[in-house]
Amino acid sequence: MSKTYNWGILAPGNIAGKFVSELKEVENAVVLAVGSRDIKRSVDFAAIHGIERSYGSYEELVADPDLDIIYVASPHTFHAEHTILCLNHKKAVLCEKAFGMNAEEVKMMIQSARENQTFLMEAFFTPHQPSYQEARKILDSGILGEIKHIQGWFGFNRSPYNPNSRLINPELGGSALLDIGLYLMFDVLYFLGQPSRMEAFADLTPQKIDLSVSVAMEFEGGKSAHIFASILSDAGVGTDLLCEKGVLRLRRINAIEQTLEILLPGEAIRIVEFEKSSCGLKLEAIEVMKCLENNQLESTVMSLHNSLQLIENLDQVRQKTGINC
């Protein structure tokens, strides 16, 4: 890479801390500034992470002329507003998932990126991870034949939840689907494409926030998928691709430790392991810088079409279950 990219961090919460730690391992990346709604939080975060500049508002952060890229890490309900603020200042944006609250917001974000001729990508680590790329290669090799069914689950249980928790507070985008279910929906779209039909069920709080959600999907050619996401079940995380000639199991013990298991009748299980150094945040950052280096306004690994297709399907699930949108 020919240049060093200066990053700004908008909203220094939990994931922003992890992102900055991973970015330290990336050549040609410098975290130059952080912006918080509260100057003290900004100064404290800057001190912990050795960041040169700290601002007490997001507006001051985006006005810093030395920043090339801003990582938006506020709760989902603010992603559209904060992303558009950055884009209007011609800052390239890497915005956390869920990209927006619904397809309408995501379309506004994409339109803003296009009007400002500025780079935009959803911070969605899955497609950057080597295990996903390897899974695609294994499927393309034909040893397993076609996928007939996908079974995906993602669950943890930290209950009882504080009503102000980002996970269940509607004002902060609370929803098992938007926090973790979207990874499973992404897997299904990545490996099987757009479903032709969908049925969904959810366990809702009185405020219509989904604690658990279950989605069944049908695809052309008799293929199907079922996904289950829950913040009330310590289910762990996994995706099984049930194919004509065997099974491909994608396992993430946590976001870092990933394996692929290939099961073929009459053969010992083949396990493919991957480097444990990153949960993917730095891979997203590297992709953004690569795209900027090539004058691309969007990524081909996680395109804006991928983000829009994902949220459109999540909108459908919410319409079918009555989840508070």
User: Residue 174: is it exposed, middle or buried by C-beta count within 10 angstroms (0-12/13-18/19+)?
Assistant: buried
Between the CA of residue 187 and those of 3, 30, 136, 180, what are the distances in Å? 34, 32, 11, 12
Q: Which is nearer to ligand NAP, 41 or 320 (CB)?
A: 41
Residues that bind ligand NAP (rule: CB under 6 A) add up to a total of 23
Stretch (H or E) spanning 289: helix 281-293
CB of 270 to ligand NAP, least distance (A): 28
Quote the DSSP letter at residue 48: H
The two structure tokens encoding residue 162: 């504080």
Cα(200)–Cα(308) distance, rounded to whole angstroms? 20
Residues 74 to 103 in contact with ligand NAP, rule: CB under 6 A: 74-76, 78, 96-98
Q: Which is nearer to ligand NAP, 180 or 247 (CB)?
A: 180
Q: Which is nearer to ligand NAP, 96 or 298 (CB)?
A: 96
Cα(51)–Cα(164) distance, rounded to whole angstroms? 29
CB of 263 to ligand NAP, least distance (A): 28
Stretch (H or E) spanning 166: none
Does position 256 interact with ligand NAP (CB under 6 A)? The reply is no
Stretch of 37-45, 127-135, 221-229, 298-306 lying at the interface with ligand NAP (CB under 6 A): 37-45
Identify the sign of the CA torsion 285, 290, 295, 301: negative
Stretch of 30-38, 196-204, 245-253, 290-298 lying at the interface with ligand NAP (CB under 6 A): 30-38
Does position 127 interact with ligand NAP (CB under 6 A)? The reply is no
The two structure tokens encoding residue 256: 């870092």
CB of 265 to ligand NAP, least distance (A): 36
Q: Which is nearer to ligand NAP, 139 or 324 (CB)?
A: 324
CB of 169 to ligand NAP, least distance (A): 8
Strands in 53-55's sheet, in edge-to-edge order, are 53-55, 29-35, 5-10, 69-72, 92-96, 120-123
Of 158, 195, 154, 196, nearest to 177 (Cα)?
154
Stretch of 69-77, 109-117, 244-252, 290-298 lying at the interface with ligand NAP (CB under 6 A): 69-77
Cα(226)–Cα(204) distance, rounded to whole angstroms? 19
CB of 11 to ligand NAP, least distance (A): 3
Residues 163 to 222 in contact with ligand NAP, rule: CB under 6 A: 166, 172, 179
Choose, by CB under 6 A, the member of 9, 11, 94, 177 that binds ligand NAP. Answer: 11
CB of 205 to ligand NAP, least distance (A): 18
Of 15, 292, 321, nearest to 181 (Cα)?
321
Say if CB 142 and CB 296 are below 8 A apart: no
Does position 14 interact with ligand NAP (CB under 6 A)? The reply is yes
Which residues bind to ligand NAP, rule: CB under 6 A? 11-16, 36-38, 41, 73-76, 78, 96-98, 123, 125, 166, 172, 179
